[in-house]
Amino acid sequence: MTGTAERIRVLIADDQPLVRRGLALILAPDPAFEVVAEADNGQRAVDLAHQHRPDVVVMDIRMPVLDGVQATERLSQELPACRVLALSTFDMDEYVVAALRAGASGFLPKDVSPEELSAAVRTVHGGEAVVAPRLLTRLISTYVTSPRLPRPPVSAPVPVSAPGELTPREIEVWHLLATGLDNAEIASAMGISVSTVKNYITSVFAKLSVRDRAQAVIAAYESGLVEARSANPAG
């Protein structure tokens, strides 16, 4: 971090004061970050985001007045330059997928280390998704195979173009990505370089009209490219 680099402006939204304070105490001492505001509900988060224009909102999913999913959708529509990093107490939470579909750039469980949180905020700010591929796959699998669970209203699902617009190699990359492989593992499976994988992924994102890896994985499930399997109890 150079002296001339701009600090990443962060807004923290959580209905629990101790959690908000804890997150702020993790981020604020780092010269890379500036915590510009704290919100105790989703509506307040949206209002403060308009006021302070943060780069990243660290957003709890379950909050009163306006929950994190609805707040994320509002921010995605009203302040598209603002990135949202969703938080949840539970790894297996159907609302996390709804938040990603609403426009969140990633998901972290609340028990992550301070170092993981700081790294995730940096990554999200840089335009990448922050969701462990296998965690995301497991999360979507549970969500898709549990239709009885309440499904939060999301009016803007991830757009998916016709798979026919993708080349066979792009479809193969998309499929491997959706099954939980990272770029190095995709490269090894296909016998190509990591840089070539990155090029394919960039093309896949553009053709699917998705913003990041998280939305591409969700699009794979919604399009039928990947079928959800029953959750593994040992996982």
DSSP-based three-state secondary structure for 114: helix
Which pLDDT value is given to residue 49?
98
Which pLDDT value is given to residue 43?
96
CATH of the domain at 127: 3.40.50.2300
122 in the same domain as 56: yes
177 in the same domain as 109: no
Q: Quick one: average pLDDT of 8-25?
A: 95
Residue 167 burial (CB count, 10 A): 13
**Residue 230 domain flag:** no
**Residue 29 domain flag:** yes
**Residue 235 domain flag:** no
122 in the same domain as 84: yes
Give the lowest-confidence range in 84-88, 117-121, 145-149, 213-217. Answer: 145-149
Question: Among 82, 94, 160, 148, which Cα is nearest to 121's?
Answer: 82
DSSP-based three-state secondary structure for 132: coil
Which pLDDT value is given to residue 143?
52
- Whether 207 shows a pLDDT value over 70: the answer reads yes
Q: What is the pTM of this model?
A: 0.67
Which pLDDT value is given to residue 135?
63
Instruction: Look at the alpha carbons of 16, 142, 114, 128 in this order and tell me if their dihedral is positive or negative.
Output: negative
Burial of 227 (0-12, 13-18, 19+ CB in 10 A): exposed
Q: How far apart are CA 154 and CA 168, in angstroms?
A: 31
**Residue 2 domain flag:** no
The count of domains in the chain is 2
- pLDDT, tens digit, for every residue of 68-100? 999 999 999 999 899 999 988 765 556 667 777
Complete edge-to-edge strand list for the sheet that includes strand 33-39: 33-39, 8-13, 56-60, 83-88, 106-109
127 in the same domain as 171: no
Q: How far apart are CA 36 and CA 54, in angstroms?
A: 7
Which pLDDT value is given to residue 117?
92
Which pLDDT value is given to residue 12?
97
Which pLDDT value is given to residue 152?
40
- pLDDT, tens digit, for every residue of 35-80? 999 999 999 999 999 999 999 999 998 899 999 999 999 999 999 8
Domain ranges, residue 107: 8-133
- When pLDDT is cut at 50, 70 and 90, the band that residue 175 belongs to is confident
